[in-house]
Structure 1
Amino acid sequence: MHDLMRTTITSMEAAEWCGKEHSKLLRDIRNYISQLGEAKIGFSDFFNESTYVTEQNKTLPCFLVTKKGCEFIAHKMTGQRGTEFTARYINRFHEMENPKKQIPPTEHPGEVANLLKVLSNRMDKQGIAPYKSAEMVKMVCEQYGIQLPADFVKVPKYEQMSIVKFLEGSGKA
């Protein structure tokens, strides 16, 4: 069930995207399920019955809508609303399918610190500019969920000028 939650949206969200009342989308989904049943086509690849709890602590019906279910709904829609719904579900499922690669926050920050020290020493021995080491430290910290100040990496002015001059020389500035 947990995997299903990560690869579906709720019918409430779909109804909002469709510009429909949730009760009307529930009615439509139930009709789709009935028609699929008559054709002896399973509906669980598209829609899965579920419930949600309101702010008033009432349990109400809803559906978990898969990517295929969103495609099914989108094919029933036309015009501006159909276009908006399709764009929203495509964007949402791409986000779910391609999450940002992030290592879970560590319980052992000392290990991260040791890793950073080793990497920084190696970069120093190779003659790499100190701000490049700072960029590497920031990148590793972000992967481990460690927040650093936005101005942690400061590029020297001479480096900034050379980039600007390069861009001016290439006609891209």
Structure 2
Amino acid sequence: MNELTRTTITSMEVAEWCGKRHTDLLRDIRKYVQQLGESKIAFTDFFKESTYVTDQNKTLPCFLVTKKGCEFIAHKMTGHKGVEFTARYINRFHEMEELPQRLLTDHPGEVAKLIQALASRMDKQGSVPYKSVEMAKLVCEQYGIQLPADFVKAPDYEQLSLFGNTN
């Protein structure tokens, strides 16, 4: 599964980029899967069935979409939306390919324990809380766990000091 998360994007992300409702994209992908199966072409090279959990704790279907799957979908699109989707998926897969090959862990609980131990030590040493968050993000990235770019935010007073004194 770790390899899949490094080489695929979710159908929710694809739907957003395509400007489609996720349910409509799922319908389209299921149709592609059926047609590929009828042609005896392995659909798993393009799409992998999966699920996700909503904020309401519901498990819903989705697909993990490979680079080939994105190319497949892009070839079905035309006009501005097609151009925009193609650019987004190309950029996204290039970003994933350019990331250094990092060890992905099958034991996220161990990573969490490591982060907890390091945060505790930093707290005892008087580190400011956002520095612990920066450390946690670095540890996660070393184990191939990607966090949002805005996961770490320095407090406003720290950001102001970056610009130096204007006296």
TM-score, normalising length: structure 2:
0.60
Q: Which residue of 2 aligns with 1:170?
A: none
**Aligned-partner SS, 1:77:** coil
> C-alpha separation between the residues in 2 aligned to 1:29 and 1:37?
12
Dislocated runs of 4+, deviation >4 Å: none
* Counterpart check, 1:22 vs 2:22: yes
Alignment of 1:122-137 (within 5 A): none
1:91-122 C-alpha deviation (Å, 9 max, x unpaired): 000000011689xxxxxxxxxxxxxxxxxxxx
Distance 1:68 1:77 in 2: 15
After superposition, the C-alpha distances for 1:26-80 in whole angstroms (9 at most, x for unaligned) are 0000000000011010100000000000000000000000000000000000000
Residue 88 of structure 1 pairs with residue 88 of structure 2: yes
Partner of 1:47: 47
Question: What are structure 2's unaligned runs of at least 5 residues?
Answer: 103-137, 140-167
What is the aligned-residue identity percentage?
76
The alignment partner of 1:44 has SS state of helix
Larger radius of gyration: 1
Once residues 58 and 93 of structure 1 are traced to their aligned partners in structure 2, the CA distance between those partners, rounded to angstroms, is 29
- Which SS does the other structure have where 2:12 is aligned? helix
CA distance, structure 2, for counterparts of residue 53 and residue 2 of structure 1:
18
Residue ranges of structure 1 left out of the alignment (5+ in a row): 103-143, 146-173
Provide the aligned length of Structure 1 versus Structure 2.
105
Instruction: Provide the secondary structure at the position in 1 that maps to 2:45.
Output: coil
In the alignment, the residues of structure 2 paired with residue 67 and residue 37 of structure 1 have an alpha-carbon distance, to the nearest angstrom, of 19
Name the CA distance, whole Å, in 1 between partners of 2:2 and 2:10: 14
What do you get for the CA RMSD once the two structures are aligned?
A: 2.0
